[in-house]
Structure 1
Amino acid sequence: MQKKNTGLLIWGGVGTGKSFFAGCIANALMEREVPVCMTNFARILNELNNSFSGRNEVVERLCRYPLLIIDDFGMERDTNYALEQVYNIIDSRYRSKRPLIITTNLTLDEIRHPQDVAHARIYDRVLEMCVPVSCFGTSIRKDTAQEKLNNLKSLIG
């Protein structure tokens, strides 16, 4: 996948294991001493805002990783500034010809049919770079919460 610059777009509902799946890939690569960065756009935007060395340095650093994983894509603030920065990161990664894994709660239909040109520019690159993989099912967090509630009931009852 690295040689062919093939990434993954892991999409599906909340709590279906997308981030866990991406983290497993990251861990397997890091065990082989392959540097991986797993982050989200909220962190990237904060880093860009607080960067003393400049925005270009932040973007260049993200493009140096053999694999960049962006978690919770589409959950960032929907401002012109945020969209510009998301585009800048995705486009820089696209131009660097390095794989990218994205997790998102957006549907594949939302990504294939964006609401405007700004989103279309981003999503078009993502769809070229990344093979869509769906994650369906009930929320693992809901199941865990129910299990904890049942355990508490058995302790009290």
Structure 2
Amino acid sequence: MHHAHRYVEQWQTMRAENLGLFLWGGVGTGKSFLAGCIANALIEQEVPVHMTNFARILNELNSSFSGRNEVVDKLCCYPLLVIDDFGMERGTEYALEQVYNIADSRYRSRKPLIVTTNLTLDEMRRPQDTPHARIYDRLLEMCVPISCIGVSFRKETAQEKLERMKRLIG
């Protein structure tokens, strides 16, 4: 949470120096929550932010009448783009090409990107093939990796709800 606060406090520098975040770790460790907190705090400061995931981007690309370039250009107009659950998209050649196009467009436009993923840093540093290597290389240059570790918040919440239900109906 400290990193999220500092990112927002230092937003002008982050933007000017194209500094993004790569929030990685296990399921339920708060990566999406932190990214959302940053997005919301910046939106409150009237900074245009777009938070999405590659599954939604790919759906938009597939259903777009205006064409791929316009979808990519629209994503690049935001000062900050947050991509949640990176690595969960289908690994088809088409999907990888689109993921690369988004990462490369942000890279070339020098606009920061925040990415959340369940991939490990080791998996990012040792990609399985060249298409993945091209994507990961850009992301790791643009985004500072931050490890999100701990017990799944969702498991804790589920356990609390179970205990509450037992008290209510037991």
Structure 1 residue 155: Cα displacement: 1.2
Q: 1:104 aligns with which of 107, 117, 128?
A: 117
Structure 1 residue aligned with 2:168: 155
Structure 2 residue aligned with 1:12: 25
Matching of residue 122 in structure 1 with residue 158 in structure 2: no
Q: 1:143 aligns with which of 132, 145, 156?
A: 156
Q: 1:68 aligns with which of 81, 88, 94?
A: 81
Distance 1:26 1:85 in 2: 23
Distance 2:87 2:43 in 1: 26
TM-score (norm 2): 0.92
Q: 1:131 aligns with which of 141, 144, 152?
A: 144
Q: 1:138 is paired with a residue of what secondary structure? A: coil
Query: Where do 5+ consecutive residues of structure 2 fail to align?
Result: 1-13
Q: 2:70 aligns with which of 54, 57, 60?
A: 57
Give the aligned residue type for 1:70: I
Distance 2:85 2:74 in 1: 20
Structure 1 residue aligned with 2:6: none
Q: How many matched pairs?
A: 157
TM-score (norm 1): 0.99
Superposition RMSD in Å: 0.5
Identity of aligned residues (%): 78
Distance 1:6 1:78 in 2: 27
